[in-house]
Chain A
Amino acid sequence: AQSVTQPDIHITVSEGASLELRCNYSYGATPYLFWYVQSPGQGLQLLLKYFSGDTLVQGIKGFEAEFKRSQSSFNLRKPSVHWSDAAEYFCAVGAIAGNQFYFGTGTSLTVIP
């Protein structure tokens, strides 16, 4: 069965500190992997995606994520967090050439000055 686990419901970091959000997935086929960000009251926006090639992918707003097949993980990182990064972050998985996508339950990020 397909599933995405984001073990951290809420994370608080200080502005300027580094960030890592965890994502583990279970998927029967070769997956597409995604990270989306949702600001309060808004829809989701794609941060980055992975489906093949270099396992370290770069996204918008200075985010990057690393795919580790052996650990079924796709963790999101940022070296230095800005106050504007406060939002909810969703990891998602889908099949290459498939129609459905599965989302994790989200991680809420608070940034303190």
Chain B
Amino acid sequence: NAGVTQTPKFQVLKTGQSMTLQCAQDMNHNSMYWYRQDPGMGLRLIYYSASEGTTDKGEVPNGYNVSRLNKREFSLRLESAAPSQTSVYFCASRREETQYFGPGTRLLVL
């Protein structure tokens, strides 16, 4: 039982490049989340998916898109990366009121 897994662990992009961050959970949870973590800012919600087939914007959705591919997988896409998107990205799944977090993806945009 791996919990929440994220790939890649670390990525360097040039401004304007695109990439997809992958997230999968094996706990059969309905809800999944994408957060970004920046120094002094805590975690901020980018998008969430309350159930398979639905997605909703969070606090900071601009510059991102998401896909809830199936119940297990929830991906985050950066279509045209910007230096302001340099951050650590966390995926989480949720059972009742508790969230379970992945190990994070560190993204550097040059």
Contacts and interface: CB of A to CB of B under 8 A. Distances in A.
A101 B92 CA distance: 11
Given A32-B97, A99-B48, A99-B50, A43 B43 contact: no
A94 B50 contact: no
Contacts of B97: 32, 34, 49, 51, 94, 96
By secondary structure, the A interface counts as strand
Interface residues of A, number: 25
The 5 closest A-B pairs by CB, nearest first: A43-B101, A105-B42, A103-B43, A103-B42, A44-B101
Given A49-B97, A103-B43, 18 more contacts: A9-B40, A32-B97, A41-B104, A42-B104, A43-B92, A43-B102, A44-B92, A49-B98, A51-B97, A99-B48, A99-B50, A99-B56, A100-B45, A100-B48, A100-B58, A101-B45, A101-B99, A105-B41
